Amino acid sequence: MTLEQQLKQADAPLPARKWTIYAIHHSHTDLGYTDRQEKIEQYHVDFIRQALRIANAAHTGAKPEWKGFCWTCETFWAVEQFLKAASPEEQKSFAEAVLRGDLELSGTYLNMTELPDEQLLSSLHSKAQAYAASIGSRVDSAMTADINGYGWGYADSLLNHEIEHLFSCIHTHHGMYALGRKQAPFWWETRDGRRLLVWNGEHYMIGNELGLCPGALGKYMIRDEFNHQLVEPEAIHDGIATVRIRRYLAQLEAEQYPYAFVPVMLSGLGTDNGAPNSRIIEWIQAWNEQHGDRITIEMTSLSGFFARLKQEELDELPVHRGDWPDWWTDGVSSTPMHTQVFRDAQRTLRKAVKLDPEASVLSRAEIDETEEALALYAEHTWGYHSSIYEPWHKNVQLLEVRKLAHAAEASRRAYRALDKVLLQQGSATLYPDRPYRFRVSNLAGREVTELVTLQLDGWEPGALREGVEVVREDTGEVLPQQSVHPHTIVTELKLQAQETCFLLLRPLAQGRQQGTTTTNTRLIGADQVYDMDDMFQGASGAAGHPPIRMTRNGLESPFVRLAWSDSGIHSWFNKELDTEMLRSGNPYGAFTPIYEVTRPADETDASQVWSTRARMGRNRKGLHAERSAGRITSVRTVENGPLYATVEIKYQLNGLSYFALFLRVHANRNRVDVSARFHKDSVWSPENVYLSLPFTSGDTLRDTLYADKPGGLVRPWKDQIPGTCLDYACVQEGIAWQDDRSSLLLASPDTPLMQWGPLEYGTRRLHTQQAEDEKPESYAWLMTNYWETNFKATLGGFYEFQYHVSSEPALPEDELAAALRALHEPFVVCRMRPEGV
């Protein structure tokens, strides 16, 4: 059947209401999906020039057929690049077009993942408003496209910068819109009761599928009888557009859509990173002449649409509080090492800024340059569109190294900023006879007791061959210490919030250094294997017993007792609380590695490797995914001293040629530092790697799970917008479990993605579909390459990821957040010059 015949037979009666369609013309910004990043930057600069020419021609009357043209700059990043490249005349013309309302600024900087912290979000959301103020304008609306959600702090950040409206254009491939319906407004309420007006919108090119742009007729969300190409003869295009628009509006009526108007986004070309197109406004005018008595189409801006929405009665709109987890934030685990570098850079920049509160050392430009590199990495696009199908393609390789270079550049700039601040404050560069004097600063907002590493250079330990004392300069106190090797001395230090002190290494007098001898009461044999309890627990020889007891199947400190078998760590007993910290019935032990792979019939066939991923939907794995858990193969005590003990636990696991946990158990407080080191095999098939975190604060019936997000803690499966993702979320510094009596904190400085839902393939549930008393599971989702387009095809390589587990008494929520964030590197340590030098 021909298209002409299909059109004649198409059933598309007029909708019952008289409708207005508001068309918002923009270009979806993907930094890398369709071309090289620098090429896309060039495109977007020129897109604004093109839009400016169209708008000016309409404004002056040179092109009266373009009257009513309006262009929304989806991201301020594109505007920023344009302003850098523009001549003074172009800058002036752009400002005038913005003031007229022909060109519009969105408060969005880029379409982001959930990687940015509160400070970076605030900085990014300030940019459009700052520019608008400079030209006498104001931004009241922001839009996003592609991404499926945001942290709760995103709403705070927008409102903090006087951005009152958010238009969300979700993309439901491997994702889903919130609320159970799209094209619906709601109030998003912040923690402090402020409200952001949100439009939960359609796909960002739905207007193209409806036919509003000649030559760019899409067929992605709408699946109908018309088997067409993007470019159709005018009569065919108009016929398809008429059928689809009528059907779309009739469907809205059938679903009790409450308004007589609806917004649609569209691009000037049938692609992401598409140009503005004057033919859209010409087509709209022609449509209105023919159909305007029943269905009017008007090109408008974000601000214009929200102004129209506010003419309706909005007091009855639903109000939702909580997180809006982004289904698409999982890209951060497709390049896990570089995400680790990004997160370290983001923390390092925070440290540099905190150490320089008066901004006397760092310029705003230096901070901005670092934040720009951070933002470009945290942007949602993770590679070229054929990364999986043809991972050897030149553009795949080019875009990958450019993307990863942003994390490296952010790291370089952040550390340069920190070094600059420390140098200005007296840190010592290399020179002969440097004093063994270290400054330690606690940047946390609470008292912290921490193991402090004092690093020496390779040539220095010879001068300290008789041993050293670690002395706190202000009190003269000799601190306990433990040497990892001759170049590293570890001591333990307590500092108040924002407190700084100095530590000195003082050589011991000759003869004071003591060796070790045998003990007559410790039941360890000549083979050095310690696998039975001492009969005289309180006895001590000349050297004393280490405070942490190590055996082949467990360890015990004054605070915790861990036990393991070949299946993993099955007990994490809190001696202070006299309770088990692992949930009963969990199939995996604490920090057990879990590997998943979904194999196509032919793992060397690119089309099968691609199509296997394309069918996964929101499961992130296939129906026949193979899942295996690591099994312990060996245990080795690495060190055991007065401050801590370290044990290495090796596992055997499919997909990884090496995996080991290193547990550093503290002797003087209830804390264990965990390092997961492994070598991941290179596999083309879709994979996932997790670590099991089956913890509890002690009371499994009453404890609550918290996740650290920008702006504060959220409770997964509780503080969420209805219809949002239950399976996983991106966190900042970690998670915590708390009941009335105690808190268990787990900092995750390197891997931000946490899996809450079951690992098994099945129907994925949305928030409010879970049972009222049901609780999330907890896994660290270390890595994935399941996406069929722009994820990195292979995860192979060497990795080390850190975690910190600490038990504390129950804390108020604001203190709980501070305690969690203080678990990872709260101290800044630097070698100092002598006073006055």
CATH code of 804's domain: 2.70.98.30
Q: Which of 358, 444, 330, 307 is nearest to 687 (CA)?
A: 330
**Between residues 518 and 355, the one the model is more confident about:** 355
pLDDT of residue 701: 87
pLDDT of residue 531: 62
Of the residues 292, 321, 350, which one is the last residue of a structural domain? 321
Question: What's the pLDDT score for residue 542?
Answer: 40
Is 444 domain-assigned? no
What's the confidence (pLDDT) of residue 260? 97
**pLDDT tens across 293-325, in order?**
999 999 999 999 999 999 999 989 999 999 999
Whether residue 9 lies inside any domain: the answer is no
State the residue for tokens 């030559």.
Answer: 215
pLDDT in tens, 386-396: 999 999 999 99
- What are the residues facing 754 on neighbouring strands? 729, 780
- % of the chain with per-residue pLDDT over 90: 84
Other C-beta atoms lying within 10 Å of the C-beta of residue 322? 20
Mean of pLDDT values over 255-264? 97
Rg (CA), the chain: 30
Range in 21-30, 274-283, 545-554 the model is least confident about: 545-554
Kindly state the average pLDDT of the residues 465-473.
88
Residues 595 and 700 in one domain: yes
Q: What is the pLDDT of residue 3?
A: 73
> pLDDT-derived band of residue 532, with 50, 70 and 90 as boundaries?
low
Mean pLDDT (the chain, rounded): 93
Measured in whole angstroms, the distance separating CA 215 from the mean position of its chain's CA atoms is 37
pLDDT of residue 541: 40
Q: From 269, 372, 380, 387, select the one nearest 30 (Cα to Cα).
A: 380
**Could you give the CA distance from residue 645 to residue 623 in angstroms, rounded to a whole number?**
43
- The number of distinct structural domains making up the chain is 4
Confidence band for 91, pLDDT divided at 50, 70 and 90: very high
Whether residue 487 is found in the same domain as residue 624: no
Q: How would residue 526 be classed by pLDDT, with cut points 50, 70 and 90?
A: low
**What is the band of 41 on the pLDDT scale with cuts at 50, 70, 90?**
very high
What count of residues does the chain have?
837
641 plus 765 within the same structural domain: yes
Dihedral sign for Cα atoms in the order 378, 379, 380, 382: negative
- The tens digit of pLDDT for each residue in 141-152 reads 999 999 999 999
Q: Between 486 and 352, whose confidence is greater?
A: 352
> Two tokens at 393?
């393609």
pLDDT score at 595: 98
Domain that holds residue 72: 16-321
Q: Is 526 inside a domain boundary?
A: no
pLDDT at 5: 76
Which pLDDT score, from 0 to 100, does residue 533 have? 64
Q: Residue 624 CB: number of other CB atoms within 10 A?
A: 9
Q: Are residues 287 and 344 in the same domain?
A: no
Residue 518 lies in a domain: no
Q: Which of 89, 70, 73 is nearest to 81 (CA)?
A: 73
Q: What is the mean pLDDT of residues 363-367?
A: 96
Residue 797 in contact with residue 680, Cβ under 8 Å?
yes
What is the predicted pLDDT for the residue at 536? 66
3-state secondary structure of 419: helix
Same domain, residue pair 489 and 613 = no
Percent of the chain at pLDDT above 70?
95
pLDDT at 487: 83
CATH number of 65's domain? 3.20.110.10
For residue 582, the 8-state DSSP code is: B
**pLDDT per residue over 614-668, tens digit each?**
999 999 999 999 999 999 999 999 999 999 999 999 999 999 999 999 999 999 9
Determine, yes or no, domain membership for 514. Answer: no
pLDDT at residue 6, as a whole number:
78
* Distance from the first to the final alpha carbon of the chain: 88
Residues 355, 478: one domain?
A: no
235-239, 346-350, 487-491: lowest mean pLDDT where?
235-239
Q: What average pLDDT does this structure show over 764-774?
A: 94
Q: Do 348 and 294 sit in the same domain of this protein?
A: no
DSSP classification of residue 238: H
Of 459, 477, 509, which residue sits at a domain end? Answer: 509
Same structural domain for residues 253 and 394?
no
Which pLDDT does position 235 carry in this prediction?
80
Tell whether the model's pLDDT for residue 517 goes beyond 60: no
Residue 275 has pLDDT above 60, yes or no: yes
Specify if 830 maps to a domain: no
User: Hey, is 594 helix, strand or coil?
Assistant: strand
Residue type, 595: Y
- pTM for the model: 0.94
Are 356 and 308 contained in the same domain? no
Of 321, 347, 380, which closes a domain?
Answer: 321
Measured between alpha carbons, how far is 502 from 471 in angstroms, rounded to an integer? 9
- 258 and 346 inside one domain: no
* Average pLDDT of the segment spanning 397-417: 96
Phi first, then psi: what are they for 309, rounded to 5°? -60, -40
- Is residue 528 pLDDT above 60, yes or no? no
389 with 462, same domain?
no
Give the tokens for residue 457: 């250079």
In this structure, is the dihedral angle defined by the CA atoms of residues 765, 768, 771 and 773, taken in order, positive or negative?
positive
Whether 302 and 376 map to the same domain: the answer is no
Q: Decide if 539 is inside a domain.
A: no
Q: What are the residue ranges of helices labelled H in 453-519?
A: none
Please state the φ and ψ torsions of residue 367, each to the nearest 5 degrees.
Answer: -65, -45
- Segment 399-413 mean pLDDT: 96
pLDDT of 494 strictly over 90: yes
Domain membership flag for residue 528: no
* pLDDT per residue as tens digits for the range 329-353: 999 999 999 999 999 999 999 999 9
Residue 808 pLDDT > 60: yes
